[in-house]
């Protein structure tokens, strides 16, 4: 058995699904092993251009996505530079047009409010056309519903949906979530994961390990 995410397409006949780590080049976008993106509208290899928006190098913010995540078509990550600062008397982004207004280029980033990186945990499922806003952290095992707009942090193993996204329910009991948070199966070796596939798929916690 040979398992590897060092290729673009996980399935030989499927050109709509890619291993993201193999197609992203921006050093400020960090993708974990085996995380997939599916796009039946655009080329999924264009994820960096089409789905990571307003991600300008001048701001130094990062998109961090963990291992074994599943990202559906059209999901977008909206970064800080999409914001217009609310600290000013005007929402007009004067610093961006520094040439027009004879302003200092070094102050460009004051045109928006900087809320920080977007951090996605491991084994997260992000639904069709969901939007994740800057500064949000999504915990391991969470599920983001179709077309949800996530404006605040999502706890591990929690399902959220809506605009703005709100908690629908937790996926498991507190005891099971605590167990999974400690287990971190995604950090196991490929061989150990393969040996435990049946238990992972069936939810057979007693036979994991």
| Residues with active-site annotation | 84
Q: Which residue(s) pair with 167 in the sheet? A: 160
Stated as kind and residue range, the H or E segment containing 99 is: helix 98-101
d(CA 78, CA 55): 8
DSSP character for 154?
B
**∠ CA 22-69-185 to the nearest 5 degrees?**
110
Residue 148: Cβ within 10 Å count: 26
d(CA 187, CA 92): 46
Long-range contacts (CB closer than 8 Å, 24 or more residues apart) made by 18-26: 18/44, 18/45, 18/47, 20/47, 20/65, 20/71, 23/47, 23/48, 24/48, 26/52, 26/55
What 3-state class would DSSP assign to 198? helix
């Amino acid at each position: 058995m040979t398992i590897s995410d060092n290729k673009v397409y996980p399935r030989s006949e499927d050109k709509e699904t890619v291993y993201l780590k193999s197609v992203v080049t921006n050093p400020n976008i960090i993708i974990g092993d085996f995380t997939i993106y599916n796009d039946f509208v655009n080329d999924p290899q264009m994820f960096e251009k089409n789905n990571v928006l307003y991600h300008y190098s001048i701001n130094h913010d990062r998109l961090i996505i963990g291992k074994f995540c599943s990202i559906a078509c059209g999901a977008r990550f909206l970064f800080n530079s999409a914001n217009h600062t609310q600290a000013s008397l005007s929402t007009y982004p004067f610093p961006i047009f520094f040439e027009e207004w004879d302003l200092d280029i070094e102050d460009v980033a004051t045109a928006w409010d900087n809320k920080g990186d977007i951090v996605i945990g491991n084994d997260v499922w992000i639904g069709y056309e969901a939007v994740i806003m800057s500064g949000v952290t999504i915990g391991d095992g969470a599920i983001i519903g179709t077309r949800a707009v996530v404006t605040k942090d999502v706890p591990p193993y929690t399902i959220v949906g809506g605009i703005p996204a709100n908690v629908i329910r937790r996926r498991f009991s507190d005891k099971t979530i605590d167990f999974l948070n400690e287990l971190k199966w995604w950090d196991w070796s490929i061989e150990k994961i393969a040996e435990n596939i049946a238990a992972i798929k069936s939810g057979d916690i007693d036979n994991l390990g």
